[in-house]
Amino acid sequence: MTDATAEAVHGHSGGHGHQDPIHAANPFLAHHFDTPRQQFEAGKFGIWLFLVTEILFFSGLFCAYTIYRTLDPDVFEWGHYFLDTKLGAVNTSVLILSSLTAAWAVRNAQLQQHRALIINIVITLLCASTFMVVKYTEYSHKFHAGLLPGKYFQPTEEAWEMPSYEKKNGPPPEGFLDGKPEGIEKAEKLITRGHPYKFDPPPHAARFFGIYFCMTGLHGIHVLVGMGIWIWMLVKGVKRQFGPNYFGPVDYAALYWHLVDLIWIYLFPLLYLID
Amino acid sequence: MAHDEKSAHDPHHDELAHPMPVSMLIGVWAVLMFFTVLTVWAAQQGLGSQTSFIVAMIIATIKAGLVMSIFMHLWWDKRMNLFTFLGSFLFVMLFIGMALTDKSEYNHDIISKMESDSAQAQTSTGAPTMPSTK
């Protein structure tokens, strides 16, 4: 991996001095690397190895999803009615937009477009915040409606009034929510015609929310961590530290960010778009 | 470790930075948005659970491929990074595949049994009955 020129300059005589021209010209070249390329490629391989561990990390949850969905398909079909497709689609779009600005930020860093770099990082951060606000709204609805994992799964009437549920099934028959006999009777008739108008969750229904909260929760934590990394990149960008020989950190941050997007690209259809 | 083969497409192969054209970035974004709309639309067509699952996964994989090859730059990156990353999917497939082969062996009522037992223990004042383990 040693570059010929660096070998000549660095040699074996000088030790780790910072006086050689390559290090003098590159203030962010760490002393244990000979050239910016060596530093960049080492870092790049490092971040790819990290992304591999991330894939394996998430694969545990995807495995749980696969097994529980094949064991109890009804649970997933029933549970997905409580997820709002519109909010899920908004979050997908927001993450895709932030992936665009993240990739664009790498270009800005390479070309030393300091102003554009800051703008793109700020847009990425705004998209991430929007994602988290939408996620918070979805979570708080589920908390209020008692749609929670395990023994905390105690759905209240609010679950019926969730807009996502109503949008897919229409409003419940009049008097049903008040427990009036005629309302219940109407609902019973609807059930026989295949409408899910009775709040009888299938056995193991809580599992859907266990898997939902674990998968989206772990993903949400990754979004929060990503926001922290982008703030760090913003600080470095404001200090104008990046250029054609030192853009690695933005590149690595963007790679991580794209991975978070990749995972959501699969989570969205797996949780929200069950038919 | 030679880095010649990676930049065969690029005359400036001695330069570290390969900025992506803005038109390409925006083009990929537009295609990703199109597929997002498509997957939402397809899910509402009532294709049946099996077909719609396969359609959704194909669309998601196309989107993932675009993000990986263009946004994550794997198309031009060193092949080492590509194989490292794709290698992880090989292990994921092994992991999930192996786990699926014996899914019928699971005692998948064990949690609900524990739940109903603990619910009984809460309601009844007497000692909770332990589940018999055969």
In this structure, what is the dihedral angle of CA atoms A39, A40, A44, A46, given to the nearest 10 degrees?
10
Mean pLDDT of A53-71: 94
Half-sphere exposure of residue B12: CA atoms within 13 angstroms, side-chain side = 6
Q: ipTM of the predicted structure?
A: 0.82
Whether the pLDDT of residue B2 is over 80: the answer is no
What gap in Å lies between CA A259 and CA A95, rounded to an integer?
Answer: 11
Nearest residue to A36 via CA among A44, A26, A46: A26
Is pLDDT above 80 for A239? yes
Residue A246, beta-bridge partner list: A243
What confidence category does residue A87 fall into, taking pLDDT thresholds of 50, 70 and 90? Answer: very high
pLDDT value of residue A260: 97
Q: Is the pLDDT reported for residue B107 higher than 70?
A: no
Q: Which of B26, B40, B81 sits opposite A273 (nearest CB)?
A: B40
- Collect all residues with Cβ–Cβ distance below 8 Å to A95 and sequence separation of at least 6: A127, A131, A260, A261, A264
Q: Which residues of B touch A107 (CB under 8 A)?
A: 19-20, 22, 25
Nearest Cα to A138, choosing from A177, A169, A165? A165
Closest alpha carbon to A208 in A142, A260, A158: A142
pLDDT over threshold 70, residue B27: yes
> Would you place residue B44 in the very low, low, confident or very high pLDDT band (cuts 50, 70, 90)?
confident
pLDDT of residue A184: 73
Res A33 pLDDT > 60: yes
pLDDT band at A20 (very low <50, low <70, confident <90, very high): confident
Q: Which of A5-19, A71-85, A184-198, A237-251 has the lowest mean pLDDT?
A: A5-19
Residues in chain B closer than 8 A to A167 (CB atoms):
none
Q: Is A204 on the interface with B (CB under 8 A)?
A: yes
Compute the average pLDDT of residues A21-42.
91
A62 contact B CB<8A: yes
Is the pLDDT higher at A187 or at B100?
A: B100
For chain A, what percent of residues have pLDDT higher than 90?
A: 60
Q: Both tokens of residue A169? A: 């099934």
CA distance B87 to B108: 32
The Cα B48–Cα B31 span in angstroms is 26
- Is pLDDT larger for residue B130 or for residue A135? A135
The predicted structure's pLDDT at residue B123: 60
CB contact under 8 A, A89 and B17: no
What is the DSSP track for A207-275? HHHHHHHHHHHHHHHHHHHHHHHHHHHHHHHHTT--BTTB-HHHHHHHHHHHHHHHHHHHHIIIII---
- pLDDT in the model for residue B4: 43
Tell me how far the alpha carbon of residue B125 is from its chain's centroid: 48
Task: Please give the span between the terminal C-alpha atoms of chain B, in angstroms, as a whole number.
Answer: 62
Q: Which residues contact residue A263 at a Cβ distance below 8 angstroms, ignoring those fewer than 6 apart?
A: A58, A219, A222
Are A72 and A202 within 8 A, CB to CB? yes
- pLDDT-derived band of residue B7, with 50, 70 and 90 as boundaries? very low
Q: By CA distance, what is A253's nearest residue in B?
A: B72
Distance of CA A79 to the CA centre of its chain: 21
Of A60-64, A162-166, B45-49, B57-61, which range is least confident?
A162-166
Over the stretch A222-235, which tens digit does the pLDDT of each residue have? Answer: 999 999 999 999 99
Which residues on chain A are in Cβ contact (under 8 Å) with B71?
99-100, 102-103, 254, 258, 261
Distance from B4 to chain A by nearest Cα, in Å?
A: 12
pLDDT at A10: 46
Euclidean distance between CA atoms B76 and A38, whole angstroms: 17
Given this model, what pLDDT does residue A168 score? 64
Q: Which residues of A touch B64 (CB under 8 A)?
A: 262, 265-266
Q: How far apart are alpha carbons B32 and B36 in whole angstroms?
A: 6
pLDDT at A37 over 60: yes
Contact flag B15-A244 (C-beta cutoff 8 Å): yes
Contact call for B85 and A254, based on CB within 8 A:
no
Q: What is the pLDDT of residues A243-262, one digit of tens each?
A: 999 999 999 999 999 999 99
B46 burial via Cβ count (<10 Å: 0-12, 13-18, 19+): exposed
pLDDT value for A79:
87
pLDDT of residue A12: 45
What is the C-alpha separation between A194 and A174, in angstroms, rounded? Answer: 18
From B18, B56, B81, residue closest to A44, measured CB to CB: B81
A85 touches chain B (CB under 8 A): yes
Q: Is A261 part of the contact surface with chain B (CB cutoff 8 Å)?
A: yes
Residue A63 to residue B99, Cβ atoms within 8 A: yes
A96/A201: higher pLDDT: A96
CA distance A102 to B58: 25
Q: B1 pLDDT exceeds 80?
A: no
